[in-house]
Amino acid sequence: MKKTIIFDERSPRWENNGLINGLTLANCEYWLNDMLQTNRCLLLRDVYEQLCIPITRESLVAGWVISSVPHFEFECHLKPNGAIEIILPEMESDIRYLFPSEQES
């Protein structure tokens, strides 16, 4: 499942300077990739938190597993109005199977 996010003035991280926005997104991408490498998985919630997007129910279970996405990288497309369209890598809709259940603890 692919997900597209619009990064624009509604985000607290947004600036009127396109260069700053590009650097902000690059920094977020590096941090998210580090989290994927460290934890072996990454939740959509992590992406939303980095971009200051409100958390959704979907974001608590959807995400990426390092075995299918060894390097987290998203595509950015500049829109005519200055907004940036972010296309996230293909993700799984539910990665809860990675985590131990309370019964296993």
* 103 domain residue, yes or no: no
Q: How many domains does the chain have?
A: 1
Note the pLDDT of residue 78.
95
Note the pLDDT of residue 101.
82
* 104 domain residue, yes or no: no
CB contact at 8 A, 68 and 79: no
* 68 domain residue, yes or no: yes
* Full domain range(s) for residue 13: 4-96
Report, as ranges of residue numbers, the positions in the chain whose pLDDT lies below 50.
none
| 83, two tokens | 């907004």
Note the pLDDT of residue 99.
82
CB contact at 8 A, 71 and 32: no
Place of tokens 């500049």: 78
Note the pLDDT of residue 45.
98
* 57 domain residue, yes or no: yes
The whole-model pTM stands at 0.88
| 28, two tokens | 């977020």
Note the pLDDT of residue 98.
84
